[in-house]
Structure 1
């Protein structure tokens, strides 16, 4: 089964979604399951994981509502305030939703590069583990030192790095990023998503070879059993169509065994998110 481990839905709101600036006109509209389902079918993808794009519990409820109505949405990664002292009460309520698989915070938007290491935030992550929820790590390379320390705090928790931690595909500079990714990957409970590639590249002029040195690093250090394909649809539409995004990954992993390719294209997501 082929699973897209990372995509989004939204009903566009110009105030809430102010991050979608004038350069992103193509995604300044609604994106619902009825828009994605035929795209997945055309690309041989059987299901997806819907990931939060807005930091509100309304967003989590919105995604769960969509997942309840559309069987192809296999899981949801939502948002809740992980620093809330009453978090465990919230998680106990969320545990009743079988399609809610984990949570994410937009750490890349936090001004403190050590945000992940805050005591209140780490207490929240520990609570997620108690309820069986995974955590998606969304960071920039400048936050990878903190990320490396963070994953050491949670050796038994299911953690996944979104978008390869957004390295600089435009310049091709990868040494410092690669050193941190290798350190992080030493923790066997940490996975990495092959997602968000084209949006961190030159939108108009990206090429397959721009990504391959970075993909080489994560394949080497995470291995084929801890990597997952994700489209980052509809954000990917800024730079590529869905088929192009999928093809970047399938072309790269074509050198691997069939079993390894199947794991990256779906099996690992099924295992990690308990789909």
Structure 2
């Protein structure tokens, strides 16, 4: 199976000021990560391509990813950034619509106030995405799931995907409120979920697959197999693991599923969600 798609990874030329979220506890990733660093890892793990997701909040970031995609055909799509709160949002989306590599947009909502997704200007931006066939990646902490449920309910025709299973606090084993939120949001037909970013929510230095299992169980109990996709969250995963280990952890967990369901999770769902 060499056609897997990594639905979630990042590239950057490390800038300590812009990338201040990469603090000294994350020294392993305080450097550049570019396509030539990722390609061998994709090849070793039977991936034919990836979706590059924004890591900083600027249109420059979106142009940077477009440029990388134009030079590396294994970058099958981009989730960029645009200021969804801009009153001229339709013009900005029209501007980007000529770039076929851009499949959708994301905002780092986990860094915003918990009521951010209720903002009228933000929702105005969300309401403009569908016209251009853009997806939206929901990046939140689990406590923001209530607001996310309200958002997806208000835009039933907008395709959404939850990044990093909505960042449950795996370290403290606090599953209950997160699980309620997942049960609720999974009811909406327009919502998919990325199985990504879990190892960095666990204990970085001593997590084991059994720590992730209860969270994976909740995801698989609530989302049908046609709504789930694998994402590595490379290079962020390097603070707690390595690329192959993250892939193997999911391989083992889904080994009991049918080949058809496994194919959906490894490549088909990412392909259809992002129109790759």
TM-score by length of 2: 0.98
Counting only pairs closer than 5 Å after superposition, residues 40-79 of structure 1 correspond to structure 2 as: 40-79=42-81
Distance 2:190 2:252 in 1: 26
CA-CA distance at 1:53 after TM superposition: 0.2
Distance 1:199 1:184 in 2: 23
| Structure 1 ranges of 4+ moved more than 2 A | none
**Which position in structure 1 is the counterpart of 2:21?**
19
Listed one character per residue, the Cα deviations across residues 22-56 of structure 1 (whole Å, up to 9, x for unaligned) are 11111000000001001100111110000000000
**Which position in structure 2 is the counterpart of 1:116?**
117
Q: Does 1:132 align with 2:133?
A: yes
Q: Does 1:245 align with 2:246?
A: yes
Counting only pairs closer than 5 Å after superposition, residues 135-146 of structure 1 correspond to structure 2 as: 135-146=136-147
CA-CA distance at 1:274 after TM superposition: 0.2
Distance 2:27 2:198 in 1: 19
SS of the equivalent of 1:75 reads strand
**Which position in structure 1 is the counterpart of 2:149?**
148
SS of the equivalent of 2:151 reads helix
**Which position in structure 2 is the counterpart of 1:157?**
158
Distance 2:215 2:233 in 1: 18
Equivalent residue for 2:30, pick from 6, 9, 28? 28
Listed one character per residue, the Cα deviations across residues 236-275 of structure 1 (whole Å, up to 9, x for unaligned) are 0001110001111111111100000010011100010000
**Which position in structure 2 is the counterpart of 1:85?**
87
**Which position in structure 2 is the counterpart of 1:223?**
224
Distance 2:115 2:186 in 1: 19
Q: Which consecutive residues of structure 2, in runs of 5 or more, have no partner in the other structure?
A: none
Listed one character per residue, the Cα deviations across residues 110-141 of structure 1 (whole Å, up to 9, x for unaligned) are 0x211111111011001011111000000001
Q: Does 1:190 align with 2:204?
A: no
**Which position in structure 1 is the counterpart of 2:109?**
107
Listed one character per residue, the Cα deviations across residues 138-182 of structure 1 (whole Å, up to 9, x for unaligned) are 000111111111110011111000000000111222111111111
Aligned residues: CA RMSD: 0.7
Listed one character per residue, the Cα deviations across residues 84-121 of structure 1 (whole Å, up to 9, x for unaligned) are 011101111111111100000000000x2111111110
Q: Does 1:272 align with 2:273?
A: yes
Q: How many residues align?
A: 274
Distance 1:255 1:174 in 2: 24
TM-score by length of 1: 0.98
SS of the equivalent of 1:228 reads strand
Distance 2:208 2:88 in 1: 47
